[in-house]
A and B are shown apart, each in its own frame.
Chain A
Amino acid sequence: MSSTAIFINVFTLGCLIFAFIRNRAKTRQALIVAVKSFLRILPIVFTIIIFIGLFLGFVSPSIISEIVGEQSGFGGVLFVALLGAISHIPSLVSFPLAASLIKSGASVTAVAAFITTLTMIGIVTLPLEIKELGKKVALLRNGISFVFAIIIALIMGSIL
């Protein structure tokens, strides 16, 4: 167990104990929500685990670094940013995917671009966003998010 995992579990346990002392009924309700969302996300977690395994087993690092590595340049970053914008996978499972991409030669810039567009932009949920917030707000938010995600990624790539 890594120190990060220990920290997360201790922190959560602390919150849980605090919550339990404050309000038992609400904490119970929270735990029910937790179990439900855990079961809900489990199939996606297993799918992504299989996917990452196959990915690392069959796609060689040289191909990965060619497409999204340092030498792929701005085109590579743009490509993964677009991929992130149209993908509809929970961000929670995108982090292990991102980590394995970095391990096999992807650049920090590309990976940061992918995660940022994935979380910030929702092409799949765009129709709903337009319906609730209006065309102008929705399109501006997603459009500017895309540009900013790339800027964030470029800064990340230069400082890390």
Chain B
Amino acid sequence: MKEAEGEKQRKGMVQDIIFLGIALIVAIILLSIFPDRREVVATASWEIFIEMIWILPAVMVLMGLFSAWVSKETVVKYLGKASGIKGIFFAILFGSLPTGPLYVVFPVAATLIKKGARISNIIIFLSAWACIKVPQEMVEFQFLGLKFMAARLILTIIFVVIMGVSIEKIIEWSDKKESEPIGGKDGAGI
């Protein structure tokens, strides 16, 4: 499992470096055909580079701290049995603290379904993991401003909770109709 993940990482890295190479070649070709654009492009790129380099190390350190302190086991332990407002709170909290790509968290969600956690909490947790992250919000704050970041954050939390609850209702309703198990075997039960 660990090795497969490492292999995936290496492959992804090679792919990213290839993309970088392509971008560089395209940039060199375009700028040698249109030398008058060189200054605009260089200035714009340089500005973004400076902005990124001031915050990226801090963002990475925060991500590292979260991943060291909040383990998958902690998440499963708390989310497995929490319900109601407390469940929603934990789902958002645990979703927003740790970091990593979405595919890392699907197995955690599957474990939660098997453990009998509520569908609504799992959906909220998954969605929070995808789009409400403390380090991510900081970068959004830096580039798009406090108003944009705060408005999007609050709206996202509201709609993610609505979505979690409605998906749970839809699943329960369709289970009653078909009595066919979805996801994990005892997933839709409460």
Q: Which residues of A contact B (CB under 8 A)?
A: 1-2, 4-5, 8-9, 11-13, 15-16, 19, 26-27, 29-35, 37-38, 40-41, 43-54, 56-58, 91-92, 95-96, 98-100, 102, 108, 111-112, 115-116, 119-120, 122, 125, 128-129, 131-137, 140-141, 144-145, 148, 151-152, 155-156, 159-160
Contact = CB atoms under 8 A, between A and B. Distances in A.
B176 interface: no
Contacts of A51: 23
Contact of A33 (B63, B101, B113, B139): B63
B190 interface: no
Contact of A132 (B64, B106, B148, B163): B106
A53 B55 contact: no
B32 interface: no
A143 to B, nearest CB: 10
Contacts of B171: 136-137, 140
B74 interface: no
Nearest to B34: A58
A111 B51 CA distance: 19
9 smallest CB-CB distances across A and B, nearest first, come from: A53-B45, A134-B183, A34-B64, A57-B41, A119-B131, A30-B64, A30-B68, A33-B64, A12-B58
A30 B65 contact: yes
B45 A160 contact: no
Identify whether the interface residues of A are mostly helix, strand, loop, or mixed.
Answer: helix
Given A43-B16, A125-B102, A136-B183, A5 B59 contact: no
A92 B65 contact: no
Given A16-B61, A44-B20, A51-B23, 11 more contacts: A8-B142, A11-B138, A29-B68, A52-B45, A91-B133, A92-B139, A122-B102, A132-B106, A132-B109, A134-B187, A140-B170
Contact of B41 (A34, A35, A53, A108): A53
B51 A5 contact: yes
Contacts of B184: 134
Q: Which of A19, A95, A96, A140 has the most CB of B within 10 A?
A: A95
Given A1-B54, A43-B17, A140-B170, A52 B63 contact: no
Contacts of B67: 30, 33
Contacts of A38: 56-57, 60
A13 B65 CA distance: 11
A5 B106 contact: no
B88 interface: no
B83 interface: no
28 contacts: A4-B142, A8-B141, A16-B65, A27-B68, A32-B64, A37-B64, A43-B13, A44-B19, A49-B52, A52-B45, A52-B48, A56-B44, A92-B56, A96-B48, A99-B144, A112-B152, A116-B156, A119-B131, A120-B127, A120-B130, A131-B106, A134-B187, A136-B174, A136-B182, A137-B167, A140-B170, A152-B155, A156-B155
A77 to B, nearest CB: 15
A144 B167 contact: yes
A122 B144 CA distance: 23
